[in-house]
Amino acid sequence: MVKKKIFKKKTGINKKALSNNIMGVFTNNPTKTYNYKQLAKQLLITSSEEKKLINNVLTLLRDNEFLEEVYTGKFKLKSTGGYVIGKIEITAAGYGFIITDAMDEDIFISNKNLNHALDGDIVKAYLYARKRKYNPEGEVIEIIERSRDTFVGIIEVLDKYAFCVVDTRQMPYDIFIPLEKLNNAANAQKAIVRITGWPKQAKNPFGEVVEVLGNEGEHETEMHAILAEFGLPYKFSEEIEKEAEQINDKITSADFSERKDFRDVLTFTIDPEDAKDFDDALSIKTVSKGNWEIGIHIADVTHYIKPKSVLDTEAYERGTSVYLVDRVVPMLPERLSNDLCSLRPNEEKLCFSAVFELDNDANILDEWFGKTVIYSNRRFTYQEAQTILDSGKGEFAAELLKLNELAQLLRKERFKNGAVSFEREEVKFDIDVNGKPLGIKFREHGLSNELIEEFMLLANKRVAEFIGNKKANNERKTFVYRIHDKPNMEKLEKFANFIRKFGHNISVTSDKNISQTLNNVLSNVKGKPEQDLVETLAVRSMAKAVYSTQNIGHYGLAFKYYTHFTSPIRRYPDMMVHRLLYTYMQGSDSKNRKKFEKRCRHASDMEQRAVDAERASIKYKQVEFMQDKIGKEFDGIISGVTEFGLFVEIIENKCEGMVVTRDMSDDFYEYDEENYCLKGKRYGNVYQLGDTVKVNVIRVNLSKKQIDFILV
């Protein structure tokens, strides 16, 4: 008798895990049809939110041709084989994997079956009958959307033609360039090259040089190359700059008449020392019954930038400001970001504000959203504000202390409700005028940072709730949410097993237990050798936060509704939120969801590119900093283990390099994937993730951004 498969109820299920479970039901019953209610019963799901998620997953599986919709709402397994659409990731070895929400497993694509697909492309692939032990296998049959057509590399000029040797390992092909397409690029220079064609039978794509960046190793060349590598611009066109310069900076009587006047209310900004774009300010005043009116005032960027204008199109395309080690590449021209919209002290500025009445226990008694005019009385740096909070003395000390008191109450409540505390140490460089790194330090995160953080979170949360709870024709209005899915239970359990080796434990029995015990672990590792490692692995076990019109809440913050409202100078989603909020406050109908979902996906993609570029710039400067350290010894911690060696992070400066297995001559080492370690076959030595080691710097390759160590 065949036993019926029983699904155990899991808490914290996310979309990918749910997709896998649903496909399990259909695979076990290939002739049956199911609707979402029947599937919920099979999977022991009772939560209304998770039932809604079942509907979303069924639509996704249908669109990717894993299921067929027999009739409305009723689904059946499609025949074996079939097609899948997803993003392809190319490995350094030249083969790829297609990542899709429709399947729990990634789809293996051999090098010969890539059919000119490149890393990040959206492709359609045919699925073979399963032959591989670990992953389903397929073949790319159509490139739906190229992720990019420009690449950065070194030009190699030969007698009759030239090549561009691309920097990134995910691009396994050199680009062939006819000599007449070199655009004055010289041999060994770095350049941006655009692919112009790729004949079916050709091994290499054809291209042309679109911009010469300069000589390899020069600071400006390398920073521009990093931006270009991720498809990010480093300057504005003359047209954009001209458009920005022509904006009228006068605040008119009409502006005053339609706005609430906060110019007489004490207002100030708190920002990093090197900041120039002050997009948020706080105001505070006492009101009746000893309560407090707290204003969170955000630069009214959309007052100056109109939809579909060239400035708006440029901001949308960029998506976000980019922060490299030595510069900010702004989303908006400086005329806007550092002048018109920046809430500088002693200047009247136009804002979009969220104003709350709080009692002394930080309970919200009333709220108001609307357009305002403010006058900032003081610009504080985080360190200046921190000094006042520490000493209790200084300009506006009483107001800062009260804001801090309220912020800490909000923070306490947030963690009580299940928020997770991810506060990673940020690397900062001392750089000379030529861009050379002289030293590495770490940004401090104190009470002044938390003060600003909590009030920004409050504004973002309440704006999202304000719109999220509104309905039109029994449907929620289209809005831009910042969402964070529940963690993947398999990854979380793997993380929990690993940290037990350090004496730390997390409970995965419920969402609240996960967050509470994870916070305990993150608090307990502070100052310990394994801190950075545990924090990194904890982040990897979590889903990524993204933008979407489909609200599923924000797991990490423990908010049912959350958005980004507070940084429109540097984030385009905040501009979308400002426009939607304002138009809905005027009584407008719901906007086109499909259009805004597309914009959300683009914003999420550009945000990830900006993060990757920032990391690449940090890595480059770390390697450059280590160039003159060859032969020196450092204490490090094993931050990664692979079959070909150990990644080691130097404790004092966070620079990471590699000890390759071939340089570990004291034994023959085998990789134990399950226990994150290398084991010596003869003597039994074990090198495990998280172990402290002493290393010697033997090689530094700046062009490849690599540091090589040997164990001491």
User: Hunting for tokens 């690599």 — which residue is that?
Assistant: 706
Whether the pLDDT of residue 274 is over 70: the answer is: yes
pLDDT at 485: 92
pLDDT at 72: 85
Q: Which two tokens stand for residue 691?
A: 């172990």
Do the first three CATH levels of 15-77 and 83-145 match, i.e. the same topology? no
Q: How many Cα atoms within 13 Å fall on the side-chain side of residue 508?
A: 18
User: How large a percentage of the chain has pLDDT more than 70?
Assistant: 95
Residue partners of 711: CB distance under 8 A and separation at least 6:
659, 663, 664, 693, 694, 695, 696
| Contact (Cβ atoms closer than 8 angstroms) between residue 373 and residue 350 | yes
Residues 615-625 pLDDT 10s: 999 999 999 99
Run of H or E including 511: helix 511-524
Residues 351-366 pLDDT 10s: 999 999 999 999 999 9
Least-confidence region, from 135-139, 580-584, 695-699: 135-139
| Contact (Cβ atoms closer than 8 angstroms) between residue 151 and residue 227 | no
Residues 286-335 pLDDT 10s: 999 999 999 999 999 999 999 999 999 999 999 999 999 999 999 999 99
| Contact (Cβ atoms closer than 8 angstroms) between residue 124 and residue 63 | no
Whether the pLDDT of residue 267 is over 90: the answer is: yes
pLDDT at 31: 67
Report the distance separating Cα 497 and Cα 504, nearest Å.
9
pLDDT at 129: 60
User: How large a percentage of the chain has pLDDT more than 90?
Assistant: 63
| Contact (Cβ atoms closer than 8 angstroms) between residue 149 and residue 194 | yes
Whether the pLDDT of residue 563 is over 90: the answer is: yes
Q: State the first-to-last Cα distance of the chain, in angstroms, to the nearest integer.
A: 61
> How is residue 528 annotated by DSSP?
S
**The CATH number, out of the four listed (3.30.465.10, 1.10.10.10, 3.40.190.10, 1.10.287.130), of the domain defined by the range 15-77:** 1.10.10.10
Report the distance separating Cα 48 and Cα 70, nearest Å.
24
Burial class (CB in 10 A: 0-12, 13-18, 19+), 471: exposed
Report the distance separating Cα 607 and Cα 597, nearest Å.
15
CATH class of the region 150-216 = mainly beta
CATH 3.50.50.60 fits 629-711, yes or no: no
Give me the residue spans of the domains in the chain: 15-77, 83-145, 150-216, 240-483+550-614, 489-542, 629-711
Whether the pLDDT of residue 1 is over 60: the answer is: no
In this structure, which amino acid lies at residue 294? Answer: I
Report the distance separating Cα 329 and Cα 352, nearest Å.
24
Residues 640-691 pLDDT 10s: 899 899 999 999 999 999 999 999 988 999 998 877 889 999 998 999 888 8
Tally of residues, the chain: 712
CA 508 to the chain's CA centroid: 25
Quick one: pLDDT band at residue 474, thresholds 50, 70, 90? low
Report the distance separating Cα 383 and Cα 68, nearest Å.
59
Report the distance separating Cα 643 and Cα 319, nearest Å.
38
What's the pTM value of the predicted model, to 2 decimals?
0.82
Q: Which two tokens stand for residue 314?
A: 């440029």
Whether the pLDDT of residue 444 is over 90: the answer is: no
pLDDT at 3: 39
- Residues 553-577, mean pLDDT to the nearest whole number: 96
Residues 406-424 pLDDT 10s: 999 999 999 999 898 877 7
Least-confidence region, from 12-16, 20-24, 557-561: 12-16
pLDDT at 427: 87
pLDDT at 11: 45
Whether the pLDDT of residue 537 is over 90: the answer is: no
Run of H or E including 710: strand 706-711
CATH class of the region 83-145 = mainly beta
pLDDT at 407: 98
Q: What per-residue string of b and e applies to 45-70 under the rule 16 or more CB within 10 Å gives b?
A: beeeebeebbebbbebbeebbbbeee
pLDDT at 9: 43
pLDDT at 132: 47
pLDDT at 30: 66
| Contact (Cβ atoms closer than 8 angstroms) between residue 580 and residue 479 | yes
CA 355 to the chain's CA centroid: 29
517 φ/ψ angles, rounded to the nearest 5 degrees: -75, -30
Report the distance separating Cα 526 and Cα 506, nearest Å.
16
Partners of 700 in the beta sheet?
707
Partners of 613 in the beta sheet?
none
Nearest Cα residue to 495 out of 514, 477, 511: 514
What is the gyration radius of the CA atoms in the chain, in angstroms? 27
Whether the pLDDT of residue 8 is over 70: the answer is: no
- The overall longest dimension of the chain from CA atoms, in Å, is 85
Whether the pLDDT of residue 530 is over 80: the answer is: no
Within 10 angstroms of residue 404's Cβ, the number of other Cβ atoms is: 19
Residues 27-38 pLDDT 10s: 667 668 899 999
